[in-house]
Amino acid sequence: MEKPLSPRESGQFVAERSRDVFVDEDGVKRVVQMIYELRESEEFTASGWKKMNPLAPSPDSDEAINWVFVTDTMNFSFWPEREEQQCEVVCRGNTYRGYMSLCAAVTRAMDEGVPITSPSYFSQMSEAELARVLRSDSGTPMPMLRERHQALTQAGRVLLERGGSFRMFIGHCENDAEKMVKYIVENIPSYRDEAMYEGKRISFYKRAQILVADFWGIMEARGEGHIPNLDFLTMFADYRVPQGLVYLGALRYSDALMETLKNGELLSSGERREVEIRACSIWCVERIRQHLWKLVEERDGKSCHINSALIDFYLWPYAKKHHREMAHIPIHHTRCIYY
Query: How far apart (Å, rounded) are the C-alpha atoms in residues 135 and 153?
Result: 18
270: left (phi over 0), alpha (psi -120 to 50) or beta: left
Complete DSSP assignment for 213-236: HHHHHHHHHTT----TTGGG----
> Is residue 77 helix, strand or coil?
coil
DSSP 143: S
- Is the Cβ–Cβ distance between 209 and 234 less than 8 Å? yes
Query: How far apart (Å, rounded) are the C-alpha atoms in residues 317 and 227?
Result: 24
**Alpha helix (H) ranges present in 24-165?**
25-37, 48-52, 62-73, 99-111, 119-122, 127-133, 145-161
* Cβ-count burial 259-273 (b if 16+ within 10 Å, e if not): ebbeeeeebeeeebb
- Is the Cβ–Cβ distance between 284 and 23 less than 8 Å? yes
Give me the residues paired with residue 194 across strands: 203
- Is the Cβ–Cβ distance between 120 and 155 less than 8 Å? no
CA 221 from centroid of its chain's CA atoms: 20
Task: List the catalytic residues.
Answer: 238
Query: How far apart (Å, rounded) are the C-alpha atoms in residues 106 and 68?
Result: 10
DSSP 164: S
> Is residue 267 helix, strand or coil?
coil
Query: How far apart (Å, rounded) are the C-alpha atoms in residues 329 and 308?
Result: 23
